[in-house]
Chains A and B, each alone.
Chain A
Amino acid sequence: AQSVTQLDSQVPVFEEAPVELRCNYSSSVSVYLFWYVQYPNQGLQLLLKYLSGSTLVKGINGFEAEFNKSQTSFHLRKPSVHISDTAEYFCAVSERRGTSYGKLTFGQGTILTVHP
């Protein structure tokens, strides 16, 4: 079984400041890692994912994340945020083995609020 811990439930930040949303995971098997974003009254949208290869993954809207296997972390970063980045962000994992198919285990979410 896997678990995902998002270390901050809320992160307030001023516009154009950098931000880091932290995510740690626990799993007895190898996993794929994802970050999804949910805007108010909408479904989730994939920001980026790590499957293999380079541990630094770049996604949409200027976000990037770094996979750290030794620390079992997958923190999300953006060097300069905009008001439009205000949303809830979810870290998620899925097992690499075939029988898990598309099942995602999500963290509890981090609400990012960007202030002018």
Chain B
Amino acid sequence: KAGVTQTPRYLIKTRGQQVTLSCSPISGHRSVSWYQQTPGQGLQFLFEYFSETQRNKGNFPGRFSGRQFSNSRSEMNVSTLELGDSALYLCASSLEQGAGEKLFFGSGTQLSVL
């Protein structure tokens, strides 16, 4: 079974632009969550989707948004990029939603904002 796939692997953007990151969960997994990883702030929860509905959202500005499609694939969008948005963005999927579920992580998208 294929793992969680994130595309693209690397991305370079300039301030003010917008970006869309893609995540394909493990086949059969219905829950997808996103995390931002930076050296300074560590791993921070962005949002979680289940059956195309956002179930939970972290403490990020409205420039960060996401969605989930009927096939469970998910995208996240960041508008009006700032230098501080440079980070590794990790997507994780799980079979069901739930606090004790094992998360399977992708390798991430490394976003650099210049």
Contact = CB atoms under 8 A, between A and B. Distances in A.
A98 B43 CA distance: 22
Interface string A31-46: 0100010000111111
Contacts of A57: none
B interface, how many residues as a size bin? Answer: 20 to 34
A103 B90 contact: no
Is chain B's binding surface mostly helix, strand, loop or mixed? strand
B99 A102 contact: yes
A104 B101 CA distance: 10
A57 to B, nearest CB: 12
A51 B33 CA distance: 20
Nearest to B107: A43
A41 B89 CA distance: 12
Interface of B: 4, 31, 33, 35, 42-45, 48, 50, 55-56, 58, 90, 92, 94, 97-108
